[in-house]
Amino acid sequence: MLPNKTTQVELTDKDDLSSQAMEAFNTLRTNIQFSGDHVKAIIVTSCTPNEGKSFTSFRLARSFAEAGKSVLFIDGDMRKSAFSGRYHVSAPTCGLSHLLSGQKSEEETIYPTNINRLDVVFSGPSAPNPSALLSGDAFSRLIALARAHYDYIIIDSPPLGPFIDSALMAPSCDGAVLVIESGVTHYRLAQGVKEQFEKSGCRFLGVVLNKADAKHDPRYGYGSYYSQYGKYGSY
């Protein structure tokens, strides 16, 4: 892990996941591990807003950390990140928008957390032009540095339907995971997003079907890749 210049932040997570949901994240983590040891930097996106990218990406990052891997979680949503509020981060932090605009260094924007082996890059103040910030080479420099210090880098991002940001981050990544809200996203839209990732040279790892009703739909029973997150706490 990177020797940090920053002070540790406390993340207070009020999610109360069911054992089935925990199991689903462990399965997702294992599937990614079996994609090969060259798959280290993983971007999580969706077609439309609100499908569960932030929840899924952070839980995935935690799952890797809990399994003994060193992890950097990057909140790559510089448009409307809810991360700091959701995990009750009280101290002011620098973030990705500071780094990409040249105001801060990597060492000043990577924060250790109270979760063992999990460091975080916050999104920073919302930027008027995130895609312009991502067009420079600062993001790829961050990922290159992180590769040398962490086992896994998990990146949350804005939805690819309305915004280009995740496609701009994708070439620096080894794989992409698409979160799909059950019963909401049309498969043609999902297919278009998958093709857009493949064109960017980033391997498409698969889909997480989120908010599926595991209790009432037998297709999502035990052993499936997906799950309903039973007792999902409010933020």
Ligand X SMILES: Nc1ncnc2c1ncn2[C@@H]1O[C@H](COP(=O)(O)OP(=O)(O)OP(=O)(O)O)[C@@H](O)[C@H]1O
Distance CA(197)–CA(175), nearest Å, equals 9
What is the footprint of ligand X within residues 148-167 (CB under 6 A)? 159
Does residue 229 interact with ligand X by CB under 6 A?
yes
Secondary element (H or E) of residue 111: strand 111-112
Strands (E) in 36-109, as ranges, are 41-46, 71-75
Least gap, CB of 45 to Mg ion (angstroms)? 10
Give the interface segment with ligand X, choosing from 42-50, 132-140, 146-154, 192-200 (CB under 6 A).
42-50
Give the interface segment with Mg ion, choosing from 39-47, 50-58, 132-140, 211-219 (CB under 5 A).
50-58
Angle of helix 53-66 relative to helix 19-33, nearest 10 degrees, comes to: 80
Phi-psi region of 233 (alpha: psi -120 to 50; beta: other; left: phi over 0): beta
Give the interface segment with Mg ion, choosing from 25-33, 46-54, 104-112, 169-177 (CB under 5 A).
46-54
Distance CA(79)–CA(136), nearest Å, equals 17
Does residue 166 interact with Mg ion by CB under 5 A?
no
Contact criterion met (CB below 8 Å) for 169 and 197: no
Does residue 174 interact with ligand X by CB under 6 A?
no
**Partner from Mg ion, ligand X, none contacting 204, C-beta within 5 to 8 A by type:** none
Give the interface segment with ligand X, choosing from 45-53, 60-68, 103-111, 113-121 (CB under 6 A).
45-53
Least gap, CB of 194 to ligand X (angstroms)? 17
Q: Which two tokens stand for residue 104?
A: 């801060």
**Partner from Mg ion, ligand X, none contacting 151, C-beta within 5 to 8 A by type:** none
Does residue 54 interact with Mg ion by CB under 5 A?
yes
Phi-psi region of 68 (alpha: psi -120 to 50; beta: other; left: phi over 0): left
* Residues near ligand X, by CB under 6 A: 46, 49-55, 77, 82, 159, 210-211, 229, 232
